[in-house]
Amino acid sequence: MANKKSARGHAILAIIAIGFVAVSLTDFGKRLWFPQMFEAGEQESLIKPLRLEAPQLNAFEEFTLALRAFHYRTQLRESVVYSDIFYDTDDWQLYRNGYSYRYREARNAGGRISYAIRLEQEPRFVPVGSKKIDLKEPLPDALGAEISQGSWERALANDNGNRATAHLLDLLWELDIAPGEVRPRLAAELHRERYDITDKGRNWFELDRELWSFHPFEDADRVVQLQDFVVDTRLTKEDPELIRRVVTLKRLSEMTYGVHATTRSPYERAIEKLGFGP
């Protein structure tokens, strides 16, 4: 069995190598290796974290194998488990207007639990040239535990100086939604593994493997599972070597294993798969 796996791995590496030699002789290959030939807009998009949708559960092993073909090493830095409750109206008015509001519990490897509230604007709803709304505020342990035990209305109580909730209440007023219409709609669990991707003694990328599980808050039997990879370079325009590397990584993801870039959040895709979307 081990020999078969080894042979399969070598075959994959050979295919990757042959493919990249072939494309390097084409106009596409020039664009792959010389990012200065890219359009300015495409280079600008590389400054943001790159989210990759991976439909196959074994895609992570295949993806990291491809990284090793380019001499990158993956080192696990941390693993965290999150439990989320997403709030919305019965007819999903927040979602339809491009927002998500969630209560989150985070458990690190040591068992420590922390609580937070987050209001986020979905990327595709952000006007060109604008910065998306992304407010994440920690909750005191006592309040977080109270919400966790079922006091959902406490998440919407604006008596703790929480900016995310205060902004949500303003948004509800603009959308003509009464706070009482907002209730728990979707539950999710996220297992996130964070890796450092290194080469030649430098950490080039931060890679998150995200395993999501969503279900309607009142129906745990209807489950949608998703797997994403999120590559964050903290890219700056003054680092052409990093630009070259992230362009190569993006092209590699597009060419292999069914992994592809997406601008839609797991939350959006889960709502669609569950049949709640417009």
Tens of pLDDT, residues 119-143: 998 877 877 767 788 899 898 888 8
Give backbone dihedrals phi and psi of 99, rounded to 5 degrees, phi first. Answer: -130, 155
Kind plus residue range of the DSSP H or E element containing 243: helix 240-255
Tens of pLDDT, residues 140-173: 888 888 888 888 777 777 556 678 888 899 999 9
Q: Provide the token pair at 217.
A: 């808050």
Q: Supply the DSSP string of 126-170, one letter for each residue.
A: SPTTPPPPEEEEEE-HHHHHHHHTT-GGGGG---S--HHHHHHHH
d(CA 66, CA 73): 11
Q: Which residue bears the tokens 């979707």?
A: 186
Res 23 pLDDT > 80? no
Tens of pLDDT, residues 241-272: 887 887 777 777 776 667 888 888 999 999 99
Architecture of domain 34-278: Beta Barrel (2.40)
Tens of pLDDT, residues 60-113: 888 888 888 888 899 999 999 999 999 999 999 999 999 999 999 999 877 889
The residues spanned by each domain of the chain are 34-278
In this structure, how many other beta carbons lie within 10 angstroms of the beta carbon of residue 228? 20
What mean pLDDT, rounded, does the chain reach?
Answer: 80
pLDDT grade, residue 34 (50/70/90)?
A: very low
Q: Provide the token pair at 172.
A: 């509800």
Per-residue confidence (pLDDT) for residue 33, from 0 to 100 = 38
Res 10 pLDDT > 70? no
Rounded to two decimals, the pTM is 0.79
